[in-house]
Amino acid sequence: MEGHPLALISSPSRRRGELGFAAVLLAVAGLCFVTAGDYPGASGTYPRVLSVLLGCGAIVVLARAWRQNGDNGRVPLMANPGRCLLGFAAMALYVIGIDLLGYILPSFALVVLLPLLLGYRDLRLTVLAALGGIGFILLVFAVILERPMPSDLFDPLLEMLR
C-alpha cells in the first residue's frame, strides 16, 4: 500500500491523544455538572458528584500526560490514520445510506466496495459474502421473526417474502 494517497495522512501522537481526550472528558464533566443543577433534590446531587469524580480523573490523566514528555511524544495514536478515517467514513456513509435507501443496497455496496478500496480484488468472494450475509439476515430478521427493517427500496419485494 506504499504510495497510496491515504498513507500520507499523519497520525497525531499518543501524548496529544491523551491530552485531547482528557480535555474532552473534563469539558463533558463540566457540562454534566452545570446541567445537573436544574434537577431537583437527589436527582441532581448524584450526577453532580459523578461529574466531580470524572473531572478529577480527567485532571489526573491530563497532568500525567503533560509530564510524560518522552517517548509518548513520538508514538503515533493510530497505526494507519488514513485507513482509519476511511473506515469511519465508510461507516458513516453506510448509516446515511440505510436511512435514505434502506438496508439492502448500502449493505451490498459496503461489503463489495470497502475491500476493493483496501486493495482486495477477489470480487467473487466479496459478492458471495455480501449476498450470503444479506440473505441470511433477511431470512432471520424479516421472514422468520418478522422484525421490521428500515424502509427499503426493495420493500415490495420484501413483502412478497413474508
Q: Residues 84 to 103: which contact another protein by CB under 8 A?
A: 84, 86-88, 90-92, 94-95, 98-103
* CA–CA dist 45, 38 (Å, integer): 10
Binding mask 101-130 for another protein (x = CB under 8 A): xxx---x--xx--xx--xxx-x--xx--xx
* CA–CA dist 109, 93 (Å, integer): 10
Contact flag: residue 39 with another protein (CB under 8 A): yes
- Closer to another protein at the Cβ: 69 or 162? 162
Contact flag: residue 30 with another protein (CB under 8 A): no
Instruction: Number of residues interacting with another protein: please give it, by CB under 8 A.
Output: 74
Residue 50 C-beta: closest distance to another protein, Å: 5
User: Measured between alpha carbons, how far is residue 80 from residues 2, 10, 51, 89 in Å?
Assistant: 12, 8, 34, 14
Asked whether the beta carbons of 136 and 145 are under 8 A apart, the reply is no
Answer for which of 9, 13, 30, 36 binds another protein (CB under 8 A) is 36
* CA–CA dist 146, 142 (Å, integer): 5
- Closer to another protein at the Cβ: 69 or 115? 115
